[in-house]
Structures are given as structure tokens and as C-alpha cells.
Amino acid sequence: MQPKGGVTFRFPPQSKTWWHIRRFMESPAPAACTIALTQAVTISQALVEMKVSKPDFPARALISRARPVVIGHRGCCAIAPENTLPSFKLGLDAGADLIELDYHLSKDGIPIVIHDATFDRTTDARKRWGKSRLRIGDRTADEIAALDAGSWFDARFAGVRVPRLAEALEFIQRGGGVPLIEHKSGRAETCVKLLRERGWINRVVVISFDWSYLREFHQLEPRQLLGALGPPTRIAGGRRSRVASRRLSVGWLDRLAETGAKILVWNRLVSEAAMERAHRRGLKVWVYTVNDPELAIRLAGRGADGIITNEVAAIRKAMSSMAGSRS
């Protein structure tokens, strides 16, 4: 529409609002009123476009919360077989903000949700295949899908399968949670490709003890929220880490800056002073693995922004009690 004065409107012509605007603009209105209305509509349109185009990033929204976030370690592995869909469901039901899971790559390059590099501890692979200490990368995703990943924990979970990463991420998000992906093996490009194809950038958080992997990931996809687990197994330059101390030092913080990570994920030895140094650098601090509510409260009181736990319900209750003191 081209009203008097040469101002062009690109407002959707389907509403009553548009009809009234059009009638006004076609009437002999004073020029000043026309200009004022033009400016008002332009501002309104800009606000609408901003609202529509603003991306929804639940992962980033989580880390801005005042209350320390509660992260279910491998789901809710105190009461269900780790890294399985039942464990993830129980973690969500217990109130976890994020569900942590681990992945390795299968022989055919598909990300598989499992913690160990071998099948023995959490599946019936030894019984089924007659071999022990087979590595995840020794079998295809279809072969792995035939394994029982539940009976080792309890007969009630017999027949539970090892999920693929894509399946697990979709399941957790459908349940209202945010996945926390811990890399165990494979190049960053595999995970980046999956997240891009599914539209999951910043709908998840990606963490690793391999800081070289994190740096590679950040270079490929700088938008994605990353967390650096420490002490690292490999530093950003690719060299294996010779860990002199499990405590968080200034040196580790300097090294972390090379990864692009915005979250520091450290063990329970992290001190209040170390957390303060991390916060001054704009980092969030999450602590693993904490199952005692009193310890969780002490760590949160020192500044921890998140707690990774096997005991989701107990830690969620403890963190909820602190919400007022952290606001």
C-alpha cells in the first residue's frame, strides 16, 4: 500500500487493525497525523519482528537462573539403569533441570548413549557375543540396539535398550528437559552435524574432559553453549594433560579460555575462591558428582551454579530451599 506522502507499509493485510489503518491513510488526514501514525506502525512492526525472530534457547535460559540448576547424572542412575530412557524419564519426574548423558561412536559412526568404552558393565554383550571387553566402536549401531541394557541393574528393567544419541535427545526434550551431552569419543563434527540437522543448537549443552574437542566444536559452531569438564584429559592444544592437581587453579582457567566454553564443570574440591575467580571471568560453575544434600547446599552457598547428582529428588529439594538466597 502506498499512502499519501510516499510512505510504504508492509503490514499484514489480514487483520481489522490493518483495515482501520488503511481507511485512515486514505482519508484526508493532516500530514502530521499521517507521519505520527507511520512512526507508530513502524515501531510496532519492528517489535513484532523482534518477538517473532527471537530464538528460543532453553539451554542459555537455564544458566541465567538464580537457583542452582539440578543435573541428573546419566538420568537418575540411583534408581534406574544409567543412560537409558527409563533413567532419563525418572530424572525428569524427580525435577532435574538437565539430564546428563554420555556418548561414544559405533563402528558405523553413529553416536550411541553409553558411558564406558566397553559394553561389559552395563549390557549383556559378553553373554550375547561370547566376548569380553569389546569396545563400542567394534560394533554397529544396529548390533548394539539388540543388547539388553537394563537387566544388570534390576530384572524390572529387562529388555531396556542402549539408545542412540538422537533418540535420547528427542526423548529428553519432549519430556520438558534440557540434555547435557558429555562427549566420550569421536570428532566434534559428528555432534555438530546432528545438532544442526535437528535444529538443536543451544537446546542442549555439550561438555567434555577433552578440551581439544571443545575448541574444535567451538570453531565449527561458535553459537553452541559448551562446558569444560575438569581437570581435563586433553588440553585445547591437543596434548594429553599431565594433571598435577585436581584443584581448580588460575592456570586451568587460562587454559579453559582457549576452548570457548562458558561453563566450568569441576569436582567437589573446587574452592569458594576458585569459583569467585571463574565468575569474574564470566563463567558458570557446575560441580560433580554430589549426592549429599548438605554438601550440595554448602557448595551452592560458596557460589556453585549447578549440581550434578545421582540423587535428583533430594538435591532438587535442597536447591529449591536456596532459591530466595540466590536471587
Give the pLDDT mean for 48-63: 62
Calpha distance 293→315 (Å, rounded):
5
Question: Averaged over 210-237, what is the pLDDT?
Answer: 94
The answer, yes or no, to whether residue 132 has pLDDT greater than 90, is yes
Q: Residue 17 pLDDT > 70, yes or no?
A: no
pLDDT (0 to 100) of residue 66: 86
Range with the poorest average pLDDT among 28-42, 137-151, 218-232, 238-252? 28-42
Distance of CA 207 to the CA centre of its chain: 8
Q: What is the pLDDT of residues 242-273, one digit of tens each?
A: 655 678 999 999 999 999 999 999 999 999 99
Kindly list the domain boundaries of the chain, sorted by start residue: 16-53, 58-326
- CA angle at 19 for the pair 14 and 24, rounded to the nearest 5°: 150
Please tell me the distance from the alpha carbon of residue 265 to that of residue 250, in angstroms, as a whole number.
15
Pairing of strands 98-105, 111-113: antiparallel
DSSP letters spanning 144-199: HHTS--STTT-GGGTTPPPPBHHHHHHHHHHTT-EEEEEE-SS-HHHHHHHHHHHT
pLDDT-derived band at 52 (thresholds 50, 70, 90) equals: very low
pLDDT of 234 > 90? The answer is no
- Mean per-residue pLDDT over the chain, rounded: 86
Residues 6+ apart with CB under 8 A from 115: 74, 82, 83, 102, 122, 184
Q: 22-30 contacts: CB < 8 A, separation 24 or more?
A: 25/1
pLDDT, tens only, 267-313: 999 999 999 999 999 999 999 999 999 999 999 999 999 999 999 99
**For residue 306, what are the β-bridge partners?**
69, 286
Query: For the segment 68-94, what is each residue's pLDDT rounded down to a tens digit?
Result: 999 999 999 999 999 999 999 999 999
- At the second CATH level, the architecture of 58-326 is Alpha-Beta Barrel (3.20)
- pLDDT digits over 317-326, tens only? 999 987 656 5
